[in-house]
DNA sequence: TTTTTTCATTTGTATATACAAACGTTGAAA
DNA sequence: TTTCAACGTTTGTATATACAAATGAAAAAA
């Protein structure tokens, strides 16, 4: 029937998986008070204080305008400080920003455990590898 | 470095892939004037005229409120007619709605070709199968 | 040195999707 | 038969993300 048809469409199955794992990730990062992507952005800023927004966009595979919006929110929350330098905007973690790194790392572990428990650890890794490679190939189109 | 860290996170890689294939799908369905998910919804309504919104939600793995919004838009476009029957809302294709089925099927083929060309047809199928299974398991949590 | 082009960022606007609460209908229990 | 609980849908509101246009700064060309 028609359901089979959907199940054979990578657009459909990937988005189904995306919604499921996004929900799981949001739960896992709850303690940080951040969405998973905001948490990743914080990690990048802590890892390289002064990182520019285009570097963030590259690393997260998101558009610059999206990064502006995300950083806005993290500045509002007092986790990032933005310094404008010429045409660039450089991003530094505040003290509070540094302080949540532990919660973020915990969140990541919780997430990893949660999906590994369901999928199997090795299967999860294998899936991840395939998904990552496919994403890299398709995003170049 | 930290990029490797992201590449090992299924949340991250799946969403990267999701954005890439969503873009590809939007291009492929351009001729229909619909987003891919709207197009899938139309297929369901044509396949089973009178289908209810909760059936649509089930088939598309989306929330009922989302279906309401999608159907609203398709009614506005003159592709679906909604008939309220008691507490249910039944959905029928209009003549114009039926008429775009061909474009939708074409769109699906274009999409399939596009990602199969990049990933390899067999690899694409294999990936799809894994992704579909993982999505089904994770969405039950 | 002035002009033009390129580049990084921001802003305005739009879309897909979700959650929680509200609403109306139906079927079950009293 | 009235009341209540369950159900399907809708509405209000919120989030992540994108695109296109605007802005402002730097680099290149004239």
Q: Residue B115 above 90 pLDDT?
A: yes
The answer to whether B62 CB sits below 7 Å from nucleic acid chain C is: yes
Average pLDDT value for residue range A17-38: 95
- Whether the predicted pLDDT of B2 surpasses 90: no
Q: Quick one: pLDDT at residue A13?
A: 97
> pLDDT (tens digit, 9 = 90+) per residue, A40-83?
999 999 999 999 999 999 999 999 999 999 999 999 999 999 99
pLDDT digit string, tens, across residues A67-123: 999 999 999 999 999 999 999 999 999 999 999 999 999 999 999 999 999 999 999
Cα separation of B5 and B39, whole Å? Answer: 36
pLDDT value, residue B80 = 97
The answer to whether A51 touches A45, Cβ cutoff 8 Å, is yes
B29-52 pLDDT per residue, tens: 999 999 999 999 999 999 999 999
Q: Which of 60-119 (B) contact A at CB < 8 A?
A: 60-61, 108, 111-112, 114-115, 118-119
Nearest to A17 among B36, B118, B135 (CB): B135
The second-level CATH assignment, the architecture, of A26-139 is Orthogonal Bundle (1.10)
Contact between the CB of B73 and strand D at under 7 Å: no
pLDDT at position B9 over 90: yes
Alpha-carbon distance of B59 to B50, in angstroms, equals 14
Q: What is the mean pLDDT of chain A?
A: 95
Strand positions, DSSP E, chain A: 51-52, 80-85, 88-93
C1' nearest to CA of B54: which nucleotide? D8
Q: Which residue of B108, B132, B137 is in closest CB contact with A13?
A: B132
Select the residue from A28, A118, A135 to test the B interface by mutation, using most B Cβ atoms within 10 A.
Answer: A135
Are B124 and A1 in contact, with CB atoms under 8 Å apart?
no
The domain limits of chain A are 26-139
Report the pLDDT value the prediction gives residue A3, as an integer from 0 to 100. 72
The model's pTM is: 0.94
Q: What pLDDT is recorded for position B140?
A: 84
* Statement: the CB of B53 is under 7 Å from strand D: yes
Hey, what are A13's tokens? 């199955």
Confidence band, pLDDT 50/70/90 cuts, at residue A22: very high
| Sole residue written with tokens 């009614």 | B75
B50-108: pLDDT as tens digits: 999 999 999 999 999 999 999 999 999 999 999 999 999 999 999 999 999 999 999 99
- At residue B136's C-alpha, the angle toward residues A34 and B54, to 5°, is 90
Instruction: Please state which CATH class domain B35-97 belongs to.
Output: mainly alpha
Q: How many Å apart are A12 CA and C26 C1'?
A: 34
- B51 forms beta bridges with B91
Q: Give distance CA B57 / C1' D7 (Å).
A: 15
C1'-nearest nucleotide to the CA of B63? C18
**What confidence tier does B141 reach under pLDDT thresholds 50, 70, 90?**
confident
Q: A47, exposed or middle or buried, with CB in 10 Å at 0-12, 13-18, 19+? A: middle
Structure tokens at A60: 């997260």
CA angle B97, B102, B103 (to 5 degrees): 85
């Amino acid at each position: 029937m028609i359901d089979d048809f959907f199940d054979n469409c990578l657009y459909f199955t990937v988005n189904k998986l995306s919604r499921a794992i996004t929900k799981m990730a949001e739960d896992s990062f709850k303690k940080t008070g951040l969405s998973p992507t905001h948490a990743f952005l914080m990690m990048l800023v802590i890892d390289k204080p002064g990182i520019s927004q285009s570097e963030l966009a590259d690393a997260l595979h998101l558009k610059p305008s999206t990064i502006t919006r995300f950083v806005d929110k993290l500045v509002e929350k007092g986790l990032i400080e933005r310094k404008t330098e010429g045409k660039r905007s450089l991003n530094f973690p505040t003290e509070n920003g540094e302080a949540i790194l532990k919660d973020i790392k915990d969140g990541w572990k919780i997430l990893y455990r949660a999906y590994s428990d369901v999928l199997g650890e090795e299967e999860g890794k294998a899936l991840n590898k395939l998904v990552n490679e496919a994403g890299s190939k398709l995003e170049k189109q």
